Amino acid sequence: MHIQFSQSRPQVARLVAQVTDKDKVPAGLEKPFAEGMEAARFKGKAGQVFDGFVERDGQVLRLALAGLGDKSDEARLANCEKAGAALAAKYQSSGDEELVLDLADSGLTAEQAASVLLGLRLRNWRYDVYRTKMKDEQKITLATVTVIGAPEGTEAAWDDMAHVAEGVEFTRVLITEPANILYPESFVERCRERFEGTGAELIVLDEAQMEELGMGSLLGVGLGSERESRILAIRWDGGEPGAAPTAFVGKGVTFDTGGISIKPGPGMEDMKWDMGGAGAVAGAMLALVGRKAKANLVGVVGLVENMPDGKAQRPGDVVTSMSGQTIEVLNTDAEGRLVLADALHWTQEEFKPARILDFATLTGAMIIALGHEFAGVFSNDDALASQLHDAGEVTGDRNWRLPIGPAYDKLINSPIADMKNIGGRAAGSITAAQFLQRFIADGTPWAHVDVAGMVWSDKPGRTWGKGATGYGVRLLDRFVRDTLEG
């Protein structure tokens, strides 16, 4: 979607939208339209939409009103996004190619106006690349939003926010692509294309380099696949020269069959998005690099495909990680933590980060615990966990902290190796986090974000339709704004 600003309404545009506070009737509305609002019980609740036809200057226009909710609501920015998203959801396939958004009587600040635009753009996203037989009424037609009457500073605010939207959309594309199209090598190439000319540095490790470094944990996961594994690092030095970076690390299992511990057939197609953590890291880095974030950052993703094969690792195998710690692999479907073990250790050895945040679709147990409303956060640092929670409340990428501790750590002790890759049925998400913590250097602030229930949605949400949500991009962007740039 292209968003542009103008001093006046383009005469060819037939769809005009306004936003309004709860229980407020915008000034200058034609009497039939205003009476229609009342008849339809339009109250201006957040995300509520009413439309009708009016005649202005001899031209018939389709006029739409989207509700902003209560002006004093603490969730004002979220409600602004809902208003924009509601307009996109209603008119993206309406046949209109352009929507004029008139903000002259909105009473919004520049930040709030930009939030309306963010909701519009993100909700209008849909991935139709592989659809060849869509009816005309199913096709997306809405391509342009022209903003008139914008509050002072809106254009600058949107220029900044547009980079975040681009990052969310990139993440959604990566997560949506099928595994025959997106695999470790093609994931790397997608990133090369998107980061070209941005000033970011990309570092890629192939299997030979990882083997030389001793990454037996990560490489073991990909043994059964014809696709080679990769590690990709995206580095951005926008902060104080020489200062330690903040590291984001993502699990990138581009398809997960479970390996020899194979998953049930029904629903296995969903495992194309088992790289949701890596997708979030790549999208967040694109957003942060695009807006020239004033911070030193590095995004690292471990990319593998987990397949059953004669060469695949078996339950009971013991692998040696780059850190030197040995792992008894009791279940080859608990593979994400094996990937992250080496990715986390390499990140610390290579970049000496000040703090580490990892993102992973790590455990089904996370969905059992928190459903699809919150990601789970596990951390060794109270301040870091609190900062993530606060960033999630602002952006809608909500998360909730769960415990870790020595009692849970004992559950992954192995009788023949340093650890095993699963505990029992109890506390599955916690024991997974305990496993990862064993690869974090003492004194390094770390947070693990289990996003298993958040990267894909079977129903429309605040700023997304069915499918990939883009979870994590806005969370990391807000975290950087508030803690590293603020």
Q: CATH 3.40.630.10 in the chain, residues?
A: 163-485
Span 9-39, pLDDT tens digits:
998 899 999 999 999 988 889 999 999 999 9
434-450 residues labelled b (16+ CB within 10 A) or e (exposed): bbbbbbbeeebbbbbbb
| Sequence letter at residue 407 | A
Q: CATH 3.40.220.10 in the chain, residues?
A: 2-152
CATH superfamily of 163-485: Zn peptidases (3.40.630.10)
Q: Residue 73's pLDDT is what?
A: 85
Q: At what angle do helices 336-351 and 428-437 cross, to 10 degrees?
A: 30
> Which residues of the chain, if any, have pLDDT below 70?
none
Span 235-291, pLDDT tens digits:
999 999 999 999 999 999 999 999 999 999 999 999 999 999 999 999 999 999 999
**CATH 3.40.220.10 is the classification of domain 2-152:** yes
What is each CA distance from 304 to 12, 194, 275, in whole angstroms? 50, 21, 9
| Residues designated catalytic | 263, 337
- In DSSP notation, 40-102 reads TT----TT-EEEEEEEETTEEEEEEEEE---TT-TTHHHHHHHHHHHHHHHHTTSS-SEEEEE
pTM above the 0.85 mark? Answer: yes
Span 25-82, pLDDT tens digits:
888 899 999 999 999 999 999 999 999 999 988 889 999 999 999 988 889 999 999 9
How many Å apart are CA 233 and CA 154, to the nearest integer?
34
